[in-house]
Amino acid sequence: MVADGMSGDRHDSDTELTAQGFANIASACFMGLPVTGVIARTSTNARAGAKSPISSIIHCLTVLAILLILAPLVKLIPLASLAGVLLSVCWYMAELPLWPRLFKSGGSDLALLVIACGVKYLSLDFEHAIFIDCSYAQALRALIQTAQKKSLSISIKSLQGRPAKDFERFGLNKLLQG
């Protein structure tokens, strides 16, 4: 989904989410932490101009080689330098030119951003932050879907069988004309 926004192409999100679900189940079997995918890798690949999943496969093989062959040397890398690399990737992943539009739009997107950032940085543990963020996002999604369904059904019921005068009185004639 991140790649869709960066590349402009569409892909099958169901396949991606199903694969992530199986990966999360497998990670739980080995006491791993569930993830939503490697957004940093996807973002970096998209910015580098990658056009196929081969770049992700190459990344996985590179990480595997580093773990198997260079593990004794990797522990010598200072954490501060790794933090610098992560900050650089996060900076480019944040897409700062889009932020003013987010703040202008306000509403649920801005509320979700503020709650997600606030909970993650102020909570005592990572697992509770993820639970609270996901719960809020699901509740927000349910509210929006319910509101859209009710709005649509009210609109359809109120427009059926109404004479043209009612459309003019409510200012709906402009909507019906296009």
Count of alpha carbons within 13 angstroms of residue 156, beta-carbon side: 6
Q: What's the pTM?
A: 0.36
The pLDDT tens digits for 35-81 are 665 566 677 777 777 777 788 788 778 878 887 888 888 788 898 88
Task: Return the higher-pLDDT residue of 18 and 177.
Answer: 18
The pLDDT tens digits for 74-106 are 788 898 888 888 778 777 777 777 777 777 776
**Minimal CA–CA distance to 35: which of 18, 53, 23?**
23
With residue 134 as reference, give the H or E element that holds it.
helix 126-159
Domain boundaries, the chain: 1-94, 96-178
